Amino acid sequence: MEQRTYNQYCATARTLDLVGERWTLLLIRELLTGPKRFGDLQASLRGLGTGLLAARLKHLEREGLAHKITLPPPARTPAYALTESGEELGPAVLALARWGLKWAMGERRESETFHPGWAVLGLRACFDAEAADGLRAVYEFRVDDEVFHARIDDGTIETLHGPAQHPDVIITIGEEAFLDLTGHGLTLAEVVEGGAASASGDREALRRLQGLFRLPRAQARKA
């Protein structure tokens, strides 16, 4: 398949030549949270057929944005990971996420899928570094069958799939309640009080959690 191009000697156009095709940036989004197997990517990107997924991954490999690796034991299975240049797309993807939270989200459509694991990147997009000043804590989130965690270290954040070794706080919540928390302006305390979530662990770390992630106020694109 011939690669489409804008034929413009411009950094923005050249970048879109590489990542502007449908599904490509979403593949970057998935790989920004760590290496993924082909089946993992297929499960997270419902609607992306096997053939097109393979073609997009070959494109990312050919352009030096991703490469094949073998996962360490006990998995020892083939997977895909971003290269240095692919990783450096992270700030651009996070900026798009923040813009989308403000200008594009709105209500969830019936046809739209949702994976709680997408919040691994979303937590980075909404992180308030100033609110985390002086805080060192690990937060584990259990959203139905998905588990991920955030490690806060004095104004910086690292988010990863899977459980934390020694979490200071554990949040257990269902998918619908999680969407209420992230999309409808409810606070964690309100969700917990309503019985849709539970929170346990260090009280000070739990108190600080309330201000660590700030969703931009949704606005209409049209007056």
CATH of 11-88, one of 3.40.50.620, 3.40.50.2000, 2.102.10.10, 1.10.10.10: 1.10.10.10
- For position 181, what pLDDT does the model report? 81
Q: Which two tokens stand for residue 9?
A: 């000697």
- For position 74, what pLDDT does the model report? 86
Distance from the first to the final alpha carbon of the chain? 42
E-assigned strands of 83-223?
A: 136-143, 146-153, 156-161, 169-173, 197-201
CATH of 116-209, one of 3.30.40.10, 3.30.1050.10, 1.10.3720.10, 3.90.1150.10: 3.30.1050.10
- For position 180, what pLDDT does the model report? 81
β 136-143/169-173 pair status: parallel
In the chain, which residues have pLDDT < 70?
1-2, 183-185
Q: What is the pLDDT of residues 95-131, one digit of tens each?
A: 999 999 999 988 888 999 999 999 999 999 999 999 9
Q: Where are the domains of the chain?
A: 11-88, 116-209
- For position 184, what pLDDT does the model report? 64
Give 130's contacts (C-beta < 8 A, 6+ positions apart): 155
Closest residue by Cα to residue 119 from 88, 97, 100: 97
Q: Which two tokens stand for residue 85?
A: 């240049």
